[in-house]
Structure 1
Amino acid sequence: MDPSKILDFIKLSPRYLAAIALITGAMIFLPESALTRLGIARIAGDYKGWLGIGFLASAALLSVSLATIILGKLTQGLASRQRKEHIEERLRSLTEAEKQILRYYFAKRTRSNRLRIDDGTVRGLVFSGIIFRSTDVGNILSGFDHNISDTALNYICDHPEVLNGETNSYRTDRSQWDN
């Protein structure tokens, strides 16, 4: 038996594994009268051992595949929740310079702000996941467009008091010649 054929079987998608498990399981567990009506009673009887191996292998691989999918979704959900909690915690401890940048989004009711990427305050907000550079079009002098994350925008809209600070001004690096 060629080992590559076994590996190809292991790589089958869950829908094919489910079909194989269903068919082989039916050929093993259906009553003799039902197998006779389907015209497969002789095949089922002659190859019952191989059908059993196929059923067990496909059922086991299907179980592992489904468990992997479920575990991946749970892990992804947990990571997403942790990111959200981190952003919300970070929004509760902003510096005045960070608040000025975020006030622009809130005051202008926009998702985009032109900011310089060589600024430490901007880089800190990007690193925290509060804002992100949304385009590679821009330059070092006038900056690049940065969008606010959905989590940060929702939290700021629900808790605008996080933007209260020493001043009431906002910041953009957009020049008068930018669109």
Structure 2
Amino acid sequence: MTFEIQDRPQTASVRLEAAKDTRLEALVRGQSPALLRFLVRRTLNREEAQDLAQEAFLRLTDAARRRPIGNPEGYLKLIIRNLLRDRAKSAAGRHERRLAAFDPETLAASDSDPHQALVARQTLARYEAAVMALKPKTREIFLMHRLDGRTYAEIAVVIGMSLGGVEKQMGRAIAHIDRALSRP
């Protein structure tokens, strides 16, 4: 059977093949508008929200085909929570990869282009200022990872905090530096 998730006339249909479970069909039909509104608030992007909703319902119907689900509403919430967490980790990874590529030598321009050399020096100065503006513990963790090349697990042992705490501090550092570098 085919379901369509519709929130407003502008919303593109999301088609899902679902199990023959009428309870699941009712859940999809009943939860679709609220789920889309929730995801739009979380992602601030309607298209991404629709993609996440489609993925959530696909995972739910796939799981329902493999085994009976006693609480499909709760299972759907778990799927949504996992999708949002994965999205956040992916976004943090993109930021880190972008910042990891920051290399002053790469930014350094040849002597023949003074404008590019100036831009490189200004970017480096903004980067250094952003790192120095971090709280001391956050800065220490960031530098241990970026300069010393230590893993989050190694830093957690040295600092005496949980791995999740190190990840959180790195996320804060990366977000702060990203904001500082993206300002005009």
- TM-score after normalising by structure 1: 0.28
Query: Which structure: larger Rg?
Result: 1
Structure with the higher fraction of residues in strand conformation: 1
Q: Give the structure, 1 or 2, with the largest relative contact order (CA under 8 Å, sep 6 or more).
A: 1
Structure with the higher fraction of residues in helix conformation: 2
